[in-house]
Structure 1
Amino acid sequence: MNLRRLQYFVKIVDVGSLTQAADVLHVAQPALSQQLATLEGEVRQQLLVRTKSGVVPTEAGKVLYRHAQLILRQCDQALADMNAAAKNISGAVAVGLAPGTAAAGLALPLLRAVRARHPGILLYLNETYGTTLSELVMNGRMDLAVLYGGKTAVHGLAFQPLLREPLYLVGRSSMIAPPAEVPLAMLVDTDLYLARPYNVVRKMVNDAFAAIGKVPKVVAEIESASTLTAVISDGLGATILPESMARQVASSCDAWQSCIIDPVIEAPLALCQSDHLPLSEPAQAIKEILLELVAGLPGNLIAREERSQKAS
């Protein structure tokens, strides 16, 4: 397959029209159509279906589109790495930081370090929920992500443990505050506002309740930090959060926080990257800075992980 034909194909799918794609690419439409026909001949598959409103990819076209994006991105990065070999590191790096986690506190220190050490790197920070971040890394659209997870192996992803955060119960001061440490069994009748079941922290809460033969009393499912803070501030109920987000919510409204024990539940924060796509030189530099920053946090697992690797 020819890289230029792949570029043309991706642009046609992005635009959804041969005519508009030809304008964007500054290529005559008949020539663009011929390039598409040649590509379809090479792969022996129909890649696009023409409709009244434009063109849409076939199932085979969707598969090629995903692979073509990765191929073209790697080619662009290869050129950038070669150009950077004789000068300062430069290029774009996308990093995901799961909101409401200790990762959020890494954003400013990371930006400062990158500006000081590698001003040629264009850093893109994305704060969204872990499931979406891991999918972006898996698809090659994001280089690195710091998120909760890593206990379970995921095909296409590699996880490096960074921290473990205990879970806390957080509630409005108008509610009767539990002791500084509260057994999980005491929360069976507490109205809880939690994330959806696919969320890593929610899974941990569900599993902990199941271990004592109970289920959490979930009255609503919320994945917006601002909405969750408003709910707690209004005294509608309580929530269960990792320590970093518990402190954030409690400090932003008149709320208390209590560490959950019997059992202690710890959320694992990990650095996520593709297990098959190599990091570019700029992305590797960002990874090293992230690990340095985490190594300075109390309770980090970096040194332990390094010792384990040396021992093996």
Structure 2
Amino acid sequence: MMELRWLESFVAVVDQGGFLQAGAHLGLSQPTVSGHVKDLEKALGLVLVDRRSRPVQLTPAGEKFVRHARLILAEVDASLADIGRYSKPNTRGVVTIGTYPSASAGYLPYVLRLTRERYPEIEIVLEEMAGGEMERAAESGRFDIFLRQSEPPLSRQRFGQELLWREAFLVVVPPDHPWATEAHQRLDPQQLLRTRMIMTGRFQPESLLGHPLWRDLGGYPEVEHRVQHPQSLLALVEAGAGIGLTTELPVAVSRKHDVVVRRIDHLSAVREVFVNWSLARPLTDQAKTMVELMMAHPTPPPMRHD
């Protein structure tokens, strides 16, 4: 099924003259815009953009389709404006968001700034909490929405969710560790199974095998130290207390540590982060507005590579 955001990204690429410019115009990352256009091309079974030219040029199919895309978007805008007279969402109120340290530091400040600019009548309340506690808090009505990684998976009968971003798993080692000498090369994941590692509370052994990476490898690393905050993990690695396993966002937002970061040579060495909500009660208009805002701006600024 074709999505409006694919059409918006495609038209922005045409109007702005490139993927990078379109991303800046829409407030999205360049890879996100490129992914939207690729998804659109896949849905149509056509190549719309000649990516070899600078600025980008449309193919004959793209020249024809962009006119239809503009008409579709214009019709949607006109329809929303027309029905808006009858049903305007109530965006005045409080939205309580459950979160965890890395998202609090690397993503939500950006979301809060956008909220203040676009929806000053919405008050946001943040509360950090462990994954399992957030699920219970959402079902009890304490949270409206919450950010959480995909593993272990939530029940689709009890929770709604939308994907926000993907981030790579990273192995963090002291500078004098043998693995630090080839930092530009990806690490063989089989080596991790023979290594004791420092992990945060989110990498609990009992749930690790639910993740595709460890399921493919048929095992998971032994935990040497388990900490609650990524800053603690990085500090312990810097002090020579062991090897750490974390993800991109915590490393991107943490203060600089004297450590070496290695990526893992496996396609499944990523985690997905979703915005979630309990299906036990309808989302308020304010919470819906926040979900839509996050979906329109899903990438934490420290992880943008454009």
TM-score (norm 2): 0.60
Aligned to 1:285: 289
Structure 2 residue runs of 5 or longer lacking an equivalent are 1-86
Secondary structure of 2:228's aligned partner: coil
Q: How does 1:223-234 map to 2 (within 5 A)?
A: 223-234=228-239
Asked whether the equivalents of residues 213 and 268 of structure 2 are also in contact (C-alpha less than 8 Å), the reply is: no
Instruction: From the superposition, tell whether residues 115 and 211 of structure 1 become closer, same or farther in structure 2 (CA, over 3 Å).
Output: closer
> Which residue in the other structure is 1:181 paired with?
186
State which of 191, 216, 222 in structure 1 corresponds to 2:196.
191
Tell me how far 1:215 sits from its aligned partner.
4.0
Is structure 2 residue 246 aligned with structure 1 residue 246? no
Moved more, 211-220 or 106-115: 211-220
The answer to whether the Cα contact below 8 Å between 1:208 and 1:265 also exists between their aligned partners in 2 is yes
Structure 1 segment 135-150 matched on structure 2, within 5 A: 135-149=136-150
Match of residue 125 from structure 2: 124
Larger RCO (alpha carbons 8 Å, 6+ apart): 2
RMSD: 3.3
Tell me which structure has the larger Cα radius of gyration. 1
Q: How many Å separate the matches in 1 of 2:134 and 2:168?
A: 22
Which residue of the partner structure matches residue 75 of structure 1?
A: none
Q: TM-score, normalised by structure 1?
A: 0.59
2:280 counterpart residue number? 276
Aligned to 2:167: 165
Displacement of 1:109 in angstroms is 1.8
CA contact (8 A) 1:167 1:264 kept: no
List runs of 5+ in structure 1 lacking aligned partners.
1-84, 301-312
State the percentage of identical aligned residues: 20
Q: What's the secondary structure of 2:101's corresponding residue?
A: coil
Alignment check: 8 A CA contact 2:98 2:134 kept? yes
Q: Distance in 1 between matches of 2:271 and 2:100?
A: 13
Instruction: Give the secondary structure class of the aligned counterpart of 1:181.
Output: coil
For 2:280 and 2:210, the matched residues in 1 are separated by 32
- Kindly provide the amino acid, as one letter, of the partner of residue 259 in structure 1: R
CA distance in structure 2 between the aligned counterparts of 1:214 and 1:124, rounded to whole angstroms: 39
Distance 2:272 2:205 in 1: 9
Count residues in correspondence.
214
